[in-house]
Structure 1
Amino acid sequence: MSHTSGGSFELPPLALYIHIPWCVKKCPYCDFNSHTAGPTLPEQEYVDALLADLDADLAQVHGRPLTSIFFGGGTPSLFSAKALGRLLQGVEQRVAFAPDIEITLEANPGTFEQAKFRDYRSLGINRLSIGVQSFQAPKLIALGRIHDGDEAVHAADMARAAGFDNFNLDLMHGLPDQSIEDALGDLRIAIAQQPTHLSWYQLTVEPNTVFWNQPPVMPEDDILWDIQEAGQALLAAEGYAQYEVSAYTQAGKAARHNLNYWTFGDFLGIGAGAHAKLSSPDGRISRSWKTRLPKDYLDSSKRFNAGERVLSAEELPFEFLMNVLRLTDGVASELFTQRTGLPLSQLAAARLEAQQRGLLNSDPARLSATREGQLFLNDLLQHFLP
């Protein structure tokens, strides 16, 4: 089934997501596919499996180079530099790297991992994303984090010393019993570390987590609202531009891997539970996902692929907009046809409705949410449901 209309469909840029599913311990708010690590990690076996998984997907690459790689988890920095080096070498033998490829590794601030930062940098990993969440001891304990505030501050220094001139700090707000002063205090300490990028997002209680079954006392809605407003003003004043729902960046340092997701680019996903979105030259676009449990993923008698579905032409507008409308400035309208192969006229009626409700900007050359549309993104997206 092809959606192409007169050759307007273009294969988008290609990224690679690598999932490393182990953590020292599972955090009570975490609903990611992560598992508590045993005394030894099956590094060798897992790298072998990742490369075999990639081999199975190579037919879908269509000669495109990788523009970015993201090691997510779990805690990828639990893996040795030797294991990650072998993996990166294996990936590059199979898929070309774009000359300016961005390679990001998620890391925890603990001293155990900081010692490896220099080794990671020497492998060609050129961006770190450090999971700080808070600098305040009571908040870190409530979140089940195993580092302290000093280690978090030190991690930024260590990243710079290891040669990382591009790193993100991950920070949460709306934490149990958090006041506006607490939240802004955390942000000020984060900004003082001069990261090139900040992910600052509200803690949400998700199903299948400890917090879901034993909910902590969360701040009132009006406090959450005030934290959001005051934090955004502080970040803007300090030179961090908001370019996505929860992403703030210094000039020119937006996360290219994430921008690829949000502009409906393609990505391979390897590793336990990893997801992929891939386009074919004939215009078909599919989503797929890998076997979730590490023990099944490492079992050579089982398939890596756990499921796949081709997106229908009816689903594509919603799928596309669900991503691009997260961007503060949205995207050029023509990207819709480039990425989906569908005519822009397919959006016309829903677009008009959303504009009349004040949720979508009326510039015909851009698809972007108004300030209100950004705050009520789900309401805006309802207009484009199939």
Structure 2
Amino acid sequence: MAATLIPPPLGLYVHLPWCVQKCPYCDFNSHALRGELPEADYTAALLRDAGREAADAGGRRIDSVFIGGGTPSLFSAGAIGGLLDGLRQRLNLSPTAEITLEANPGTGEAGRFEGFLAAGVNRLSIGVQSFQGHHLERLGRIHGGDEAADAVRAAQRAGFERINVDLMHGLPGQTAAEALDDVEQALALGVQHLSHYQLTLEPGTAFFARPPTLPDDDQLADIEAACAERIEGAGLQRYEVSAWAVPGEECHHNLNYWRFGDYLAIGAGGHAKLSRPEGHIRRTHKQRLPRLYQELAGTDAATAGERDITPDERPLEYLMNALRLTGGTSMADARARTGLSAAAFEPGLSEARRRGLMVTDPARLQATALGQRFLNDLLGLFQ
């Protein structure tokens, strides 16, 4: 039986699903744009949805907003500003909230960065993926390496002080030297946050259907080790499996995910998690098709599915997120956010510690270096 829950911090995810074209590795709910972008109609739908979500929020303060996609920077600064103004009218958005917008180089969005900043966005996440033309072409990206660097510089000139650069490694045919060169170019731009994640072949993607040849495990280990050493040497600290930041520049919104926090979601296919004081933790997701979502937004039918996370499921659900953090979390936090006792994490916890996959401090839930390397095996002990 789960105990009474103290609701954790609350964030808001906003999904804008359109891209110029669908990348062959992408398994997100994104759609190649056909015709004119319906930004006015879609923004209106988002705000109807936000009005409906306000009841579930119950006046709780929202500490972060993440506008993802798709390619949200296809939307005009005016549309983003109107969206944020409307959200403030409907939800208890903290005046100091972190507000992140995803942007891609090469589609003209860089010229909108000043407008996004004026609209209230205070953090940009730029989807560079690589600075090398042949890899960008293989990934289906529409920008070149120079355009990627120019986009970061444009964001800096516009006044953005918080910028993340997304890089992928383990690309088809990629060498350790090429992966390291991508890292070097990102660091030379002076970014404060770097997301450096391995390409994986996800079901439902073009790459999964027609797999490219990827670096083998030994090559991947060499790439990871070389890049990690270089990023750390530049003063960025790894705080999550794939995330590095100058101290104090960590992504607050993603930290809330990894700490099993709560989050509302609006937009086609958006996923939410909410904790209730009486002990329920519920996940919901919205209709995936943009046109259907627009028609139903603001009604109960916009929610395509929902389910409670049962007490038996909570240890794994919690650890799938928390063990990605290099610093882990505390047992006290785990108990507060799951409503469970420490005994609920057994026998997996004792076995993980026996194998050297988790630290032995009884007050901590933290993977060792070995545990982070074999994270899937570690999580398997809690299934």
TM range (shorter): over 0.9
Shift of the alpha carbon at 1:49?
1.0
Shift of the alpha carbon at 1:152?
0.6
Structure 1 residue 100 corresponds to structure 2 residue 96: yes
CA RMSD, 1 decimal: 1.3
Separation in 2, partners of 1:162, 1:245: 30
Shift of the alpha carbon at 1:361?
0.7
Structure 1 residue 155 corresponds to structure 2 residue 154: no
Structure 1 residue 21 corresponds to structure 2 residue 17: yes
Give 1:1-12 correspondences, 5 Å limit: 3-4=2-3, 9-12=5-8
Shift of the alpha carbon at 1:300?
3.8
For 2:54, the aligned partner's letter is L
The answer (yes or no) to whether the contact 1:262–1:323 under 8 Å persists in 2 is: yes
Structure 1 residue 245 corresponds to structure 2 residue 215: no
Separation in 1, partners of 2:328, 2:320: 11
Separation in 2, partners of 1:132, 1:222: 25
TM-score w.r.t. structure 2 length? 0.97
The answer (yes or no) to whether the contact 2:128–2:166 under 8 Å persists in 1 is: yes
Residue matched to 1:206? 202
Residue matched to 2:339? 341
Shift of the alpha carbon at 1:98?
1.8
Residue matched to 2:127? 131
The answer (yes or no) to whether the contact 2:266–2:286 under 8 Å persists in 1 is: yes
Residue matched to 2:250? 254
Residue matched to 1:176? 172
Residue matched to 1:365? 363
Secondary structure in 2 matching 1:168:
strand
Shift of the alpha carbon at 1:95?
1.1
The answer (yes or no) to whether the contact 2:50–2:91 under 8 Å persists in 1 is: no
For 2:2, the aligned partner's letter is H
Query: Relative to structure 1, is the Cα distance of residues 111 and 22 closer, same or farther in structure 2, using a 3 angstrom cutoff?
Result: closer
Give 1:49-60 correspondences, 5 Å limit: 49-60=45-56
Further displaced range: 209-218 or 308-317: 209-218
Separation in 2, partners of 1:11, 1:216: 44
Residue matched to 1:352? 350
Residue matched to 1:197? 193
For 1:312, the aligned partner's letter is T
Residue matched to 2:320? 322
The answer (yes or no) to whether the contact 2:78–2:119 under 8 Å persists in 1 is: no
Residue matched to 1:294? 290
Give 1:110-129 correspondences, 5 Å limit: 110=106, 112-129=108-125
The answer (yes or no) to whether the contact 1:133–1:140 under 8 Å persists in 2 is: yes
* Cα deviation digits, residues 208-240 of structure 1 (max 9, x gap): 111112221211221111000111111111111
The answer (yes or no) to whether the contact 1:110–1:146 under 8 Å persists in 2 is: yes
The answer (yes or no) to whether the contact 1:288–1:308 under 8 Å persists in 2 is: yes
Find 2:87's aligned residue among 86, 91, 103. Answer: 91
Secondary structure in 2 matching 1:259:
helix
Shift of the alpha carbon at 1:349?
2.7
Shift of the alpha carbon at 1:50?
0.8
Give 1:271-310 correspondences, 5 Å limit: 271-300=267-296, 303-310=301-308
Unaligned 5+ residue runs, structure 2?
A: none
The answer (yes or no) to whether the contact 1:111–1:151 under 8 Å persists in 2 is: no
Shift of the alpha carbon at 1:111?
5.6
Separation in 2, partners of 1:13, 1:220: 40
Shift of the alpha carbon at 1:345?
2.5
Residue matched to 2:136? 140
The answer (yes or no) to whether the contact 2:11–2:264 under 8 Å persists in 1 is: yes
Separation in 1, partners of 2:74, 2:237: 32
For 1:20, the aligned partner's letter is L
Shift of the alpha carbon at 1:347?
1.7
Separation in 2, partners of 1:206, 1:300: 29
Query: Relative to structure 1, is the Cα distance of residues 340 and 300 closer, same or farther in structure 2, using a 3 angstrom cutoff?
Result: closer
TM-score w.r.t. structure 1 length? 0.96
Shift of the alpha carbon at 1:199?
0.3
Residue matched to 2:373? 375
Secondary structure in 1 matching 2:108:
helix
Secondary structure in 1 matching 2:295:
coil
Separation in 1, partners of 2:296, 2:167: 38
Separation in 2, partners of 1:339, 1:117: 37
* Cα deviation digits, residues 294-333 of structure 1 (max 9, x gap): 1211224982100000111111111111110010010121
Shift of the alpha carbon at 1:12?
0.5
The answer (yes or no) to whether the contact 2:173–2:215 under 8 Å persists in 1 is: yes
* Cα deviation digits, residues 104-156 of structure 1 (max 9, x gap): 00000126000000000001100000000000010011001001111111111
For 2:321, the aligned partner's letter is N
Secondary structure in 2 matching 1:116:
helix
* Cα deviation digits, residues 185-215 of structure 1 (max 9, x gap): 1110011111110000111111111111222
Residue matched to 2:181? 185
Give 1:72-87 correspondences, 5 Å limit: 72-87=68-83
